Amino acid sequence: MPVTELDIHTSDGVMDVHLHTPDAGRADAAGPLPVAILYPDAAGVRPVAHEMAQRLAAEGYAVALTNYYYRYGPFTFDLTTAFRDPDERAKVMTRLAQADPQSVVRDTAALLDVLAPRDDLRTDRVGAYGYCRGGLMAFTLAGALPERVAAAASFHGGGIATEEPTSPHHRAGDIQAALYFGIAADDRTCTPEQQKLLIAALDAAGVRYELEQYDAPHGFAVPDHVGAYDEAAAARHWEKLTELFARELR
């Protein structure tokens, strides 16, 4: 499937984005394509992230795979060892703190401004989805750009409802999108207490959402997350993601 490399000029530099689109000639590729923003997990853009973007693109979407680490140069790490090694974990957490959701929202707005003039894409009602840290980004975007985001999905997202004033659940009242949350079992980054905060905020604001508990560990949807990837849970996540986007973006 076609992949176009885009350089998106932001207030902090140039963000690299890979736009995955379906093969020409497909019936579902006719007309303006719905746009979906993909935020990968904390390990960033790598082969498996491209594979996951291609899988959704094959359903008739233009999938923009974003590198939210672009400010700091190349950054990769091994998911199987990074969080066990204290020094490596410290490096990862530093990079995550630097790629804060508010900055990523600004970057995404710049991306959508670049895509908006194209007549082969539909950018007035976009989707956003992400994994782990990317799930936080997708949820944050729904509250920050409510006039543009029609659907957002967070899979084993971390930090999506905390006591911090910047927590995205505080902007539930601004959200117009339909939301889906795939919550991992015994996830230290999304505790039962945090889930209660999230549900209370969404219910009070009247947000359309579905929250589903998965009997699988954090990282269940990402194939290279060795020891966490769960084939059945991953299949379920694809089912719910495509259902959400088909309903809200088509």
Provide the pLDDT for residue 25: 63
Provide the pLDDT for residue 28: 55
One-letter amino acid identity for 4? Answer: T
Taking alpha carbons only, the member of 228, 220, 156 closest to residue 194 is 156
> Does residue 26 carry a pLDDT above 90?
no
- Per residue in 3-24, pLDDT (tens digit) is 999 999 999 999 999 999 999 7
- Per residue in 110-139, pLDDT (tens digit) is 999 999 999 999 999 999 999 999 999 999
Do the Cβ atoms of 241 and 56 come closer than 8 Å?
yes
Provide the pLDDT for residue 79: 67
- Give me the mean pLDDT over the 180-186 stretch: 97
Provide the pLDDT for residue 31: 75
> Does residue 182 carry a pLDDT above 60?
yes
Provide the pLDDT for residue 34: 98
Whole-model pTM over 0.85: yes
Top pLDDT among 207 and 31 is at 207
Provide the pLDDT for residue 162: 96
Provide the pLDDT for residue 75: 66
- Per residue in 68-103, pLDDT (tens digit) is 999 887 766 666 666 677 777 777 777 777 789 999
Report how many domains make up the chain: 1
**Average pLDDT of the chain, as a whole number:** 93
At 173, is the pLDDT very low, low, confident or very high (cuts 50, 70, 90)? very high
The helix or strand, by DSSP H or E, that contains position 150, with its residue range, turns out to be strand 149-155
**Domain, as residue range, for 238:** 3-249
Cβ-proximal residues to 110 (8 Å cutoff; 6+ apart), any chain: 8, 9, 10, 11, 15
CA dist 60 and 54 (Å) reads: 10
- Per residue in 193-234, pLDDT (tens digit) is 999 999 999 999 999 999 999 999 999 999 999 899 999 999
Cβ-proximal residues to 227 (8 Å cutoff; 6+ apart), any chain: 80, 217, 219
CA dist 180 and 201 (Å) reads: 15
Do the Cβ atoms of 154 and 135 come closer than 8 Å?
yes
Provide the pLDDT for residue 86: 77
> Does residue 29 carry a pLDDT above 60?
no
